[in-house]
Chain A
Amino acid sequence: MASAPLITFTDRGIYCPRADVYVDPWKPVARALITHGHADHARAGHGHYMCTASAAPIMLHRLGEITLQTVQYGDVICINGVDISFHPAGHVVGSAQIRLAHKGEVWVISGDYKIENDGISEPFEPIRCTHFITECTFGLPIFKWQPQAVIAAEINTWWARNQAAGKTSMIGAYSLGKAQRILSMLDVSIGRVLTHGAIEVSNGILRKQSVTLPDTIQVTPDVDPKAYAGAMVLAPPAALGSKWARSFGASSSGFASGWMRLRGVRRRRALDQGFVISDHADWNGLCDAIKLTGAENIYVTHGYTDIFARHLRGIGYNAAIVETDFQGEAAQSEESEAI
């Protein structure tokens, strides 16, 4: 008789009955393993949380008083015979893929991930498994990213050109992760970098856990934006086009997201510049990551799931779709475009 599977999919999220733990559950549960601190993965209301030590500061900042156990990457915790460990996902600082293993059945739940080393996040490590649950936000062959250095050069050239024209440059980027990545890509010999408060909060938390970021000046009511003509301003997407953004006078604005790969989406945002950069894997990244796990059973979630699953079946995998709850995405709808 076949035993019950190690992992099941429930209306609260991905569940391991044997260890009685959920991964990134979207409804309150007793024990939750959290891949990373983004709002659609780390939600309030669980009894007990577990995440990596480097994801913890953001989790505590966002969720407040929670019961939190932290682990180092690679440490193995055994619960009722299930070996549980966290492995770098390369998505943001502290992000993890979660491995659950029992008697040769090995599941890896990717959370959000990217393959390219961004220089800030712990770089992605492929983990061998039998069952791989992968996100596929950009699971179409039209999504292909350029190396980070190419985009960095694009951003810095644009910044310098704006500065020469007497304009401030403003980039809209997801407050946790993308903003710090862009910050680390800037050539700060060009000028000063100003930040919106929402981004500076994340900067502060990451600096405290010794992530090295260039110096920034937070825009507070005491800061006269006009005194920093030609500076680079990093802001959450919702702040672009706002009264706050207009206080900088002549400026050129850009947006940093994987969606900028599509001309139509770039045009809809009506910005001066779109930078194609994402903290999610592109098509080739997804395909490579799956191959490297050696898994035969692939579960796809979050994105172009039906198309991606069909493609995987076509090349010989057992592929199925796992539905996720998107309330988190709806709640921060503006930011969901910034991934």
Chain B
Amino acid sequence: MKDFAALFKTLDETTKTSLKVQALAHYFETANDEDKLWTIALFSGRRPKRAITTTLLRTWAAECAGLELWLFEECYPIVGDLAETISLILPDSSDTYDYTLTHWLNALIALSKEPEDLKRAFVIDAWDHLNGTERFLFNKLITGGFRVGVSQKLMTRALAQATGQDEADLAHRLMGNWTPQTTSFETLIEADDPEAALSRPYPFYLAHAVDGAPDQLGPITDWHAEWKWDGIRGQIILRGGTHFVWSRGEELMTDRFPEFAALLDFLPSGVVLDGEILGWKDEKPLPFAALQKRITRKTVPAKLLRDTPVILYAYDLLELNGEDLRESAFSTRRAQLEALLQSLPETAPIRLSPSIEANTWEQLATHRAQARDKQAEGLMLKRCASPYLAGRKKGDWWKWKLDPLTIDAVMIYAQSGHGRRANLFTDYTFAVWNGNDLVPFTKAYSGLSDAEFRQITAWVRQNTLQRFGPVRQVPAEHVFEIAFEGIQRSTRHKSGVALRFPRMLRWRQDKVAKDANTLDDLNEMLVIYG
């Protein structure tokens, strides 16, 4: 596993994409086929079933380190990662094993059917004979989840570099339900794949945010406006009697959204659509949280499919009758899209994203103010005469988002962060006034600079009133402006509200605790925006 550990270390220690791709490509050029296949599997979220529960791992690790379990449990949130905590508290090994990645994975798979005492003996023996990164990775193979800033897309790019194959073709090869036990590197990557060309997407065109007011964009008649939906940007390809769904990250997501197969019944082949994938019920978008459940699953259970069906809110047509339309004007493509979707039945999982008519920018601004009612994040502005460009090119597509909602709140609890910010207090609980009482209503842990976090950390340490495990109660002194995207009634929270995407907009050092907002203010927002 030494070469895999070296790869992991490089990926982990750099933020530069070019270096990551280079390291991956080098690995794909030098590792053996079995290890390569497993690496592809791991970096595309295909890890073996967990053979051992984390509870057992924690107990064994504490035993091996000669520590009481509570002490192990205190270390875990500070490190922020179970695999790392285990590898840090165990004593160093003097004599180590040098097995391949595949050897360890096969051993772990075989282990899943064994009784507990055998599992224990195997794991402890491995811990005794691995050090540092390898021990950490061995734990990761059991617990899963390698977050090293390597997306499937990045890995695919490196694989393309190493094999000389086309990146989009490879992305297509990597889709589906394969595992390293059901295929080989040769079959998966090197054998002929006639479907690849059919699946190839167009690069997405991405919008920029409008700075301030949009009147600088010129006459409004040059522009087309529509809602900016809060879903997943997607491209749906219907070619050769089959369909493919690509995400904006140019990740193939066909398997996650099986309902789009039905589009083949309603639309001709040789069509490529650009739009937003949204959870959809009763002719209304579902909240993003519902859609989130769909994204995280590689395969979708029937119940989830029933509870959270999706549609494509289509807003652009990139290919018709197999012909690339990207050079023609947006207004032309839009007209063709409207014609194509005209008179489709409600059962087709697709809708035309409606356009918004306005004669002046002021009129459009009044529409924008209604976005929350429509479950939209704001408006999209598209230049009528523009072709469909690739990437984030400024000028033709703009997003004009709503400003977030904000409220001033008092910090009442602080908790240290984990992982990146293990030595700083970064997770705070905030409260608003209800008469003379402070009612906690949200937590937030992002939005401040490291310098601000350090300053608050020093203050928390000096001013702790009480400790509840890792949580410290602090005097109600510091006021923060909390920004959020939405507010909903909640019975799970004492305050009766739940916020969407709360974060600290700024530390209001100009304000004292009594200047913070009240529960009445929150309730008023709930009435308006909830």
Q: Name the contact of A140 in the complex, choosing from B14, B78, B462, B464 (C-beta under 8 A).
A: B78
Contact indicator B467/A263 (Cβ below 8 Å): no
Interface residues of A in 10-43 (CB under 8 A from B): none
Contact indicator A141/B423 (Cβ below 8 Å): no
Provide the B68-107 mask, 1 if CB < 8 A to any CB of A, else 0. 1011101100111100110011000000000000000000
Query: B145 within 8 Å of A by Cβ?
Result: no
Q: Which residue of A lies closest to B84 (CB)?
A: A263
Interface residues of A in 272-330 (CB under 8 A from B): 272-273, 304, 306-307, 310-311, 314, 323, 325-327, 329-330
Interface size class of B (residues with CB under 8 A): 35 or more
Query: B283 within 8 Å of A by Cβ?
Result: no
Among B371-379, B413-421, B429-437, the one that faces the other chain is B413-421
Known pairs A272-B13, A314-B68; A141 contacts B422 (CB<8 A): no
In the assembled complex, the Cα of A261 lies from the Cα of B132 at a distance in Å of 11
Known pairs A261-B88, A311-B71, A325-B462; A330 contacts B455 (CB<8 A): yes
Give the distance to chain B from A326, nearest Cβ to Cβ, in Å: 5
Query: A79 within 8 Å of B by Cβ?
Result: no
Query: B458 within 8 Å of A by Cβ?
Result: yes
- Residues on the A chain within 8 Å of B459, using CB: 330
Interface residues of B in 440-475 (CB under 8 A from A): 450-451, 454-455, 458-459, 461-462, 464, 467
Q: Name the contact of B88 in the complex, choosing from A144, A267, A268 (C-beta under 8 A).
A: A144
Interface residues of A in 131-161 (CB under 8 A from B): 140-142, 144
Contact indicator B420/A264 (Cβ below 8 Å): yes
Contact indicator A326/B462 (Cβ below 8 Å): yes
Known pairs A273-B13, A325-B462, A327-B458; A140 contacts B75 (CB<8 A): yes
- Residues on the A chain within 8 Å of B454, using CB: 330, 333-334, 336-337
- Label chain A's interface by main secondary structure: helix
In the assembled complex, the Cα of A164 lies from the Cα of B65 at a distance in Å of 40
Contact indicator B458/A264 (Cβ below 8 Å): no
Contact indicator B79/A264 (Cβ below 8 Å): yes
In the assembled complex, the Cα of A272 lies from the Cα of B79 at a distance in Å of 20
Candidate in A268, A304, A323 with the most chain B CB atoms within 10 angstroms: A268
Q: Name the contact of B13 in the complex, choosing from A264, A266, A307 (C-beta under 8 A).
A: A266
Q: Which residue of B lies closest to A261 (CB)?
A: B88
In the assembled complex, the Cα of A329 lies from the Cα of B88 at a distance in Å of 27
Q: Which residue of A lies closest to B19 (CB)?
A: A272
Q: Name the contact of B455 in the complex, choosing from A141, A273, A314, A333 (C-beta under 8 A).
A: A333
Q: Name the contact of A265 in the complex, choosing from B13, B65, B422 (C-beta under 8 A).
A: B422
Query: A270 within 8 Å of B by Cβ?
Result: yes
Contact indicator B458/A262 (Cβ below 8 Å): no
Query: A86 within 8 Å of B by Cβ?
Result: no
Contact indicator B420/A142 (Cβ below 8 Å): no
Contact indicator A268/B421 (Cβ below 8 Å): yes
- Residues on the B chain within 8 Å of A259, using CB: 422-423
Query: B307 within 8 Å of A by Cβ?
Result: no
Q: Name the contact of B85 in the complex, choosing from A142, A273, A329 (C-beta under 8 A).
A: A142
Contact indicator B67/A264 (Cβ below 8 Å): no
Give the distance to chain A from B179, nearest Cβ to Cβ, in Å: 28
In the assembled complex, the Cα of A264 lies from the Cα of B450 at a distance in Å of 14
In the assembled complex, the Cα of A120 lies from the Cα of B464 at a distance in Å of 37
Candidate in A141, A272, A314, A326 with the most chain B CB atoms within 10 angstroms: A141
Contact indicator A141/B462 (Cβ below 8 Å): no
Query: B18 within 8 Å of A by Cβ?
Result: no
Contact indicator A263/B81 (Cβ below 8 Å): yes
- Residues on the A chain within 8 Å of B85, using CB: 142
Contact indicator A264/B422 (Cβ below 8 Å): yes
Candidate in A261, A263, A267, A311 with the most chain B CB atoms within 10 angstroms: A263
Known pairs A264-B419, A314-B68, A326-B458; A141 contacts B81 (CB<8 A): no
In the assembled complex, the Cα of A325 lies from the Cα of B462 at a distance in Å of 6
- Residues on the B chain within 8 Å of A263, using CB: 12, 79, 81, 84, 136, 419
Q: Name the contact of B461 in the complex, choosing from A266, A307, A314, A326 (C-beta under 8 A).
A: A326
Contact indicator A262/B422 (Cβ below 8 Å): yes
Q: Which residue of B lies closest to A330 (CB)?
A: B458
Give the distance to chain A from B144, nearest Cβ to Cβ, in Å: 17
Contact indicator B79/A262 (Cβ below 8 Å): yes
Chain A residues with a Cβ under 8 A of chain B: 140-142, 144, 259, 261-268, 270, 272-273, 304, 306-307, 310-311, 314, 323, 325-327, 329-330, 333-334, 336-337
Seed contacts A272-B13, A325-B462, A326-B462; 6 additional CB < 8 Å A-B pairs: A140-B78, A141-B89, A264-B421, A267-B420, A270-B15, A304-B78
- Give 5 nearest A-B pairs by CB, closest first: A264-B419, A330-B458, A268-B420, A333-B454, A142-B88
